[in-house]
Amino acid sequence: MTSPARRQYLQMKSQYPDAILFYQVGDFYETFDEDAHIASRVLQIVLTKRSYDKGEEKVPLAGIPLHALDNYVGKLIQQGYKVAICDQVGEVGRGLVERAVTRILTAGTLSEPNLLPVRRNNFLIAIASGGAQTALSAVDVSTGEFSVTWFAPEEMPGALEAELQRLAPTECLLVEGNRPTAFALPSETMTITHCPPYFFEIEAARARLCRLFGVQSLDAYGCAQAPQAIAAAGAIVAYLEKMNAKLLSLLTGLKTYHTTGYMTLDAHTQRNLELLQSARGGSTQGSLLGVLDRTITPMGARQLRRAICQPLLDLAQLQARLDSVEELYESPALRSRFTMHLQRLGDIERVAGRVRQGTAVPREALALREYLLVVPQLQSLMRGCNASLLLELAGEL
């Protein structure tokens, strides 16, 4: 007869058959059965066996200490696995401890600093296709960036593939049964996740987005009349609700953009121009990014990467950017003061995100306080400038 402890595990595992279940037992996370075989092989940890009751068959078992979770989970996710974290949520010492899955980790839903690239975004995307348009929505749950764009049939597949190259997403959501033939996915660097059709159902997605933002319509977000854009963005929200609902606290708005405002650089062009990677070693060294990147903060590094891959076409925006660069170039003293303040900044975007999720540790909350004290000093410097873009940024701060 199966013991209560074993029944509890099997019941929990039945709800997440497609994930590796890390099951808290005291100071360890344990994996069992086939999960244990996978964990032992991928993580190079010891596989053992034990029984949970007299006469019970021994089951495979492989565990890791609680404090080492991030390192081990990162290795599994890099191999394309989904990981469900089952924590003890009840009081220990009074019979069977109550447990619950608190979050599910996938390549595109990571917010833990140890598991993320510091100087680039970690995008989860969703693609929704219809007769009149194909839409692409992207979110970085570690920074709260949430955007959507769409393409007319005559722009396909070039514009979509160029955006995929620019975003370099780690995970892509597609509707179940959808095998895209009209465009190519960079599947060698991206996890493909198939979601149920109701994730992409337009009216359900619209209601989901309105509920998230606390609005009656999506008019203010520029996508109210773009059904596939709503479907793609709504699918992301549905997926995050299922994986880790705390991540939704970071999504405070949806940015609608059109790739026609930027120069389209397809994958072939980006490789030939060596914008982000050199042709020889595949690293940033020797690329345009490697030459230009003297950024001090992680936010600056991510912004520079975006700017390189999205060359502006609007002459007024280009001139405003150049005026700002010229003013800073002509004033070494001003640059030096900016540098001094920026060196005191950490990754405000990601630390603030962890605070809003309720997952920040005390030192992160204290660090955010110190970072925010720097902001008025940066604002004061910018207000003393002449360039319109710097003055505009001072107002936004």
Q: How many angstroms separate the Cα of 84 from the Cα of each of 79, 108, 117, 125?
A: 15, 14, 22, 20
Per-residue model confidence as pLDDT tens for the chain (397 residues): 578 888 899 999 999 999 999 999 989 999 999 999 999 999 999 999 987 766 677 889 999 999 889 889 989 998 889 999 999 988 877 778 899 998 899 999 998 888 888 999 999 999 999 878 999 999 999 999 999 999 999 988 888 988 998 899 999 999 988 776 667 777 667 889 999 999 999 999 999 999 999 999 999 999 999 999 999 999 999 999 999 998 999 899 999 999 888 898 887 888 899 999 888 877 888 899 999 999 999 999 999 999 999 999 999 999 999 999 999 999 999 999 999 999 999 999 999 988 888 888 899 999 999 999 999 999 999 999 999 999 999 999 8
The answer to whether 218 and 189 are in contact (CB under 8 A) is no
Q: What is the pLDDT of residue 114?
A: 82
Q: What is the pLDDT of residue 21?
A: 96
pTM for this prediction? 0.88
Q: Where are the alpha helices (DSSP H) in the chain?
A: 4-15, 33-43, 69-78, 158-167, 202-213, 227-244, 267-273, 288-292, 298-309, 315-330, 332-342, 348-357, 362-383, 388-396
Q: What is the pLDDT of residue 99?
A: 92
Q: What is the pLDDT of residue 51?
A: 79
